[in-house]
Chain A
Amino acid sequence: GNSVTQMEGPVTLSEEAFLTINCTYTATGYPSLFWYVQYPGEGLQLLLKATKADDKGSNKGFEATYRKETTSFHLEKGSVQVSDSAVYFCARTNFGNEKLTFGTGTRLTIIP
């Protein structure tokens, strides 16, 4: 079936460190891929997306590239800030884009 596997947390980094959160997906169909972010006490909001192979999604300094050959969509940021502390979810569409399947989430804490 369709699934998403993402790096388990929690992840703790110092401010200005480089961030990578790994995400891989099952290679069924031609999914769109997403990263959602959940700040404390809030719902999920879309961070970035990519709809086909080799697309790069980017937003707020975060980037992720749709890699079909490795079935991956790793999230990266060159220099994290305290305000980036949140839970990050990787997700993929299922056939027909009817539903999203989410990873288990990665809690990120940035310390000053």
Chain B
Amino acid sequence: DVKVTQSSRYLVKRTGEKVFLECVQDMDHENMFWYRQDPGLGLRLIYFSYDVKMKEKGDIPEGYSVSREKKERFSLILESASTNQTSMYLCASRPQGPGTGELFFGEGSRLTVL
């Protein structure tokens, strides 16, 4: 079975802290994505990566960075967390090539910034 694993289901951090959200997939997928989910706004793309050490900005990259040192792992970094980054963060992956575009999601990491 396809599996995307996010390291932390729930995190509570303070304003100004550096936050790492980790995501690992075991499907050998080239493409990986980070979305945030907020009520009434749906899912918004933060960053995506189509290869190791490659990254592209999504629709809302401000305040975030990413790291892709290994194919299976894609990390989201909040350099200095702020209260408006309180949200549910979803990692997803899919294989390279046109395909159908289907994404495989992890269970999400709910971050609260105090």
Q: Interface on A for B, CB 8 Å cutoff?
A: 32, 34, 36, 41-46, 49, 51, 89, 93, 96-100, 102-105
Residues of A within 8 Å of B101, CB to CB, are 32, 34, 93, 97, 100
Size bin of chain B's contact surface: 20 to 34
CB distance from B34 to the nearest CB of A (A): 12
Q: Is the CB of B45 within 8 A of A42?
A: no
Cross-chain contact A42 with B58 (CB below 8 angstroms)? no
Chain B residues closer than 8 Å to A41, beta-carbon distance: 107
A51 in contact with B42 (CB, 8 Å): no
For B88-114 the 0/1 string (1 means CB < 8 A from A) is 001010000011111101111000000
Interface contact A99-B100, CB-CB below 8 Å: no
Residues of B within 8 A of A (CB): 4, 31, 33, 35, 40-43, 45, 48, 50, 58, 90, 92, 98-103, 105-108
The distance in angstroms between the C-alpha atoms of A32 and B103, with both chains bound, is 12
Q: Shortest distance in angstroms between A32's beta carbon and chain B's nearest beta carbon? A: 5
Q: How far is the CB of B89 from chain A (nearest CB, A)?
A: 11
Count contacts between A and B, CB distance < 8 Å.
52
Q: Given A44-B90, A99-B48, A99-B58, is A89 in contact with B102 using a C-beta cutoff of 8 Å?
A: no
Main secondary structure on chain B at its contact with chain A? Answer: loop
Which B residues are CB-close (under 8 A) to A51? 100
Task: Note all chain A residues with C-beta closer than 8 A to B90.
Answer: 43-44
B1 shortest CB reach to chain A, Å:
11
- A101 to chain B: closest residue by CB: B45
Q: Knowing A89-B42, A104-B40 are in contact, say whether A99-B108 is a contact too (CB < 8 A).
A: no
Residues on B with beta carbons closer than 8 Å to the beta carbon of A96: 98
Closest to A94 in B: B101
Q: Which of A36, A44, A49 has the most CB of B within 10 A?
A: A44
Cross-interface CB contact of A32 among B50, B100, B106, cutoff 8 Å? B100
Is the pair A100, B103 in contact by a Cβ cutoff of 8 Å? yes
Alpha-carbon distance A99/B41, docked complex (angstroms): 17
Contact B42 A44 (CB under 8 A): no
Enumerate the 7 nearest inter-chain pairs by beta-carbon distance, A residue then B residue, closest first: A93-B101, A104-B42, A97-B101, A43-B105, A102-B43, A43-B107, A44-B105
